[in-house]
Chain A
Amino acid sequence: MASRELKDHFREQRIFFQRAIWAALGVIALSLALFARYYYLQISQHEVYKTLSDRNRMQLQSITPTRGLIYDRNGVLLADNQPTFSLTLVKERIKDLDATIGELQDLLEITEDDVESFRKRMGQRRRPYESVTLKSRLTEEEIARIAVNRHRLAGVEVEAELIRYYPLSDTLAHVLGYVGRISERELKQVDPANYSGTQYYGKLGVERHYESLLHGSVGYQTVETDARGRVLRVLDRVAPTPGADISLYLDVNLQRAAIEALDGRRGAVVAIEPSTGGILALVSTPSFDPNLFVTGIDSATYKALQDSPDIPLFNRALRGQYPPGSTIKPFLGLAGLDTEIINVNSRVWDPGWYQLKNDDRKYRDWKRSGHGWVDLNASIEQSCDVFFYDMAFRMGVDNMYAYMAKFGFGEQLVYDIDEAQDGILPSREWKRAARRLPWFPGDSLNMGIGQGFMLSTPMQLATATAVLANRGKWVRPRLIKTINESEVTDIESPPDVTLKQEWYWNYVIKAMEGVMHGRHGTARSSGKDASYKMAGKTGTAQVIGIKQNAVYDAEAIAERHRDHALFVGFAPVDNPKIAVAVLVENGGGGSGAAAPVARKMFDAHLVGPELEPGQMQAASP
C-alpha cells in the first residue's frame, strides 16, 4: 500500500486540530444564535406571548364547508343538505364526562349506540375545545329540554348542523352512495386540517368518488371566549370554500321508469347515452334508503338489510357478475366477420345439437328441434346456439378474447365509479392461472354462447352495447356532466373498435333489429307497435348459484334456480339515443322478462311524457 507509506501523521493531526477548533467555534456561534433566539422569545417578546397564552380563550375554530349538491341532468336535486340540530359536548369544559352523559340520558333518549360512537369519536384526534356530537337530529322538544337545563350542563351545546339528505330515498342509493360518519381510517387518508371540522365522508358511489370535490375546503375563525368557553366575539375569519355542486347525466324519470319496470324483482338496469357515454340510469333492485346511513344506522336495521335474502345492499348493476349468455352474440358475430372465419353467406345446419369430432358430448341448442339452415343474421335474430358453437370452435379463444376485450369486457372502465367489478373475460392465460388447466375446445364452445367461465356486469354489457350502437366509437361511461355548471370534458376513452369492413356494423345491427322487429325475432313482442326502430339481443344465463346462507321455502328455492334473464339493446337504430342492459335475476328467459323492461326504458326516453302524460308528470318532482 503505497499510500500508507506516504501518510504524514503529523500533518493529518494538525489538520484535524484545525478543523476541530473550527468545529468548536461553529458550535459556539450557532449555540449563541439559539441563546439569542430564546432570549428574544422569552425575554424580549415575553409580554406578547404571555398575553396569548394567558388568554387561552383566544381560540382557533375551524368552519366546516358546506357540501356540494348533486343534481340530475334536468336539475332535479338528488342530494341536499338539511339543517338539523345536534347535541354536542366539549370535553375541556366538562368536569365529569360520564356523569354528564348520564344526566343527558335522563333528559333525552340516548341509545347505547349513540354513546358508543360518541366515545369512539372522542378517542380520535381532535383539537382542544372541539365539540363532538352525541346525538343528531334533535326534535323541538329535545332542544327545549336542553335549554331548560342548560345552567347545570356546562360544556353541553345544541349546535346547528347541515346534514346530507337524499330526497329521492332508495331510487338512487346505488348510484349516489351516501355519506356517513368519517372513520379513523378515512381520517388518515385525508388532509386532517381540511377535515378538522368535518364529520361526514362519502362512503360509496358518487359521494365517494367526488368526495374531495364535494367537500370543499375548510375555513377558520379566531374567537374570544369567556371563562366558560362561550364565544364572545369573532376576531378574525377566513370563510370556507363550499364544495362544488355537480350534476350527473342521470335522468330521474328514466331511473324511476326502470325501477317501475322491474316491478319488485331483483335485477339491474344500466342505460347509457351513446353519444356522450353519460349514464342515464343505473338501477339495482331492491334498494335501500341511504338516509339511514348518514348519522349512523342502528344495528338492528343494518342487520336486517344485511341479512335480507334479496341482498338490497348489493349493487347488482356494478358488482353483480353474471354469465352474459346470448347477449354477446352480436359482438362475437362481428369478430367472426372481421376475422373472416365466417362471411355473410356462411350457413350452418342446426339439428338442435352440435358435436365436436372425437367427442361424444352433445352441445345442445336452446331449441330442441333445431333451427335448420341458418346464417349469421338468422342466428342473431333467433339466437341460434349451433351456429355460434361452430363459429367459436373455428375462431378459437384467442380471437374471441381479443375482440371481446376491445368492447371492454373483463375490465372496469367506468370513469367515475370506484366499486364496479371487472367481470371475467377468459383466455388461455386466465384459465391456466385460475384453474390450472389448459383451454379445451369445449371451453370455446361454451364461451361462444356466453356461458362457461365468462362473467360480466350489467354495466359492462351496457357499455359494450353503447360502443356497438356507435359503430365502434368508444365513449367511456360516466356519471358526471357538470361541475359548478361547467361541462366536464376530456375524459379519455379506450381506442375505438375498427373493423376491416365498415358495413359489418350495419349487418349485425340489422340482425339485432330483426330481434325486435323480425318475424322470428326473439324479442318481437317487445318491439311491436313502436314509433321508432330499435335493436336488441336477448340472453338467458344459467344460474351457477349465488351465495345464500339463509333457509328458504321450496318455492323460493325453485325460483332462485331459475335462469337469469338478460337483454341488451339500443334505439333508435339509425341515431342511437339510448343503449341499455337489463338483468332480471331468476327472471327466466331474456325475451319474456328483460326485453319488456328495455322497451319501457326506450319509450320513456324517446317518446317520454307523450306516451303516458299523466303518469310521467306525476312522477317528476
Chain B
Amino acid sequence: MNFDFSDDQKQLRDEARRFLTEKSPPKAVRAVIDGKEPYDRELWKGLADMGFLGVAIPEAYGGSGAGHLELCVIAEEMGRALAPVPFSSTVYLAAEALLLAGSEAQKQKWLPAIAQGHAVGTLALFEGAGNPSPKAIKLTASNGVLNGTKKPVADGAIADFAIVAARTASTGRDTDIALFLVDLTSEGVEAKALTSIDPSRNQAEISFKNVKAELLGAPNEGWSILSQVLDRAAVLVGFEQVGGSDRALEMGRDYALDRIAFGRQIGSFQAIKHMLADMYVSATLARSNCYYGAWALSTDAAELPEAAAAARISATQAFQHCSKNNIQVHGGMGFTWEFDCHLYYRRSNALAVGLGSLSYWEDQLIERMRKKNAA
C-alpha cells in the first residue's frame, strides 16, 4: 500500500508553499480584504507562470497535464496561504466543467486561457438561499437565450466567463437543467459585487437579460455534469480546508508557546493543550478523508461520490473547528483586526457553504452510502 503522495508531488507542495509564503503573505490577503483590488492580479499571474493554474489541464489545451494529485497538493497550499485569487472558481469549477463536458472548440478557446492566467472563470449555480438542487434553478434558457439572476456567484464580478446552470423545461426532472457557457462581456450581462463574510474572495450577483449563450455538454445532462463537477470540487476545496486547518493549528500552537500568563506559557495549561490536541485530531481525520478523495479523483474511481462527500464534510468541520479555536487560544488578540486569526475564521466559514452547506453534504453522503449498501 502506498497511500501517500509521491516524492515528486511532495516536492511540488514544498515549491508551492515557498512561492505562496512569499507572494501571498497575510499583507497581500489584507490588501484584497481592504478593498484595494478585487483580487491579487500579480499573484494570479505568478501562479500562471509557475504552471499551477494548468496543472490538471492536459498539454493539448495548454496545461502541464500533471494531474489531479498535483492539483490537490497545490490546493492545500492555496488554502494554507488564503490566496486571494479566483483559483477555486476557475480551476476546480470552470476548468473541470470544460474538461468533463466542453466541446473541442470550447476547450480550445478557454482552457489555454485559464492555464495562462488570461481568463477567470466561474460557476453560476445558486439563486439565493439554498443548496444545489435542480428545483432551485429558475433562470431560463430558451432558444439559446438566458434570462434570470444568479446569486451568489463566487468571483462573479471578476470572471471573464461563467458556466451557467439554466432551466430548459419544467417536467420536474433533473434533465430539465442544461449548462451554458457565457462570455461575461456579452450584452445583457450585469455583474454586481456583493459584500461577504470573507472579502478576500469576491462574491457577486449576475443578472442575465436576453443573453446569448452556448450550450456546454448535452442539453439534458446539465445536472449530471454539475454533480460530477461539485464532487470533484469538493475534494479540491477539501484540500484548501486542510491547508487552512493546519495553518490555524500551527498559529495556535505557536502562540501557546509564546504567550505567558500566570507565570507560565499558556501552552502548559491543559485546557489549551487539549484544545490544540483536538484541533490536531480533526485536522488529521480531514486530511486522511481528503487523501482518499484524492485517490478517487485521480483514478476516476466509482467511489468518488462517496469519497468526495466524506472529504467535504470532514474538511469543513476541521477548518471551522481549527479556525474558531485558534481565536480562542489567542484570547483578545485573536479578536483584533490586526491579528490574522479572523482571516482564517472568515475563509473557513465561507468555504463551508460555497459548494452547498454541511447538512447538504451530510445528506448526500448517507444517500450515497445507502445506495452502495443496497447495490
Say whether A associates with B: no
Residues on A lying within 8 angstroms of B by beta carbon are: none
Residues on B lying within 8 angstroms of A by beta carbon are: none
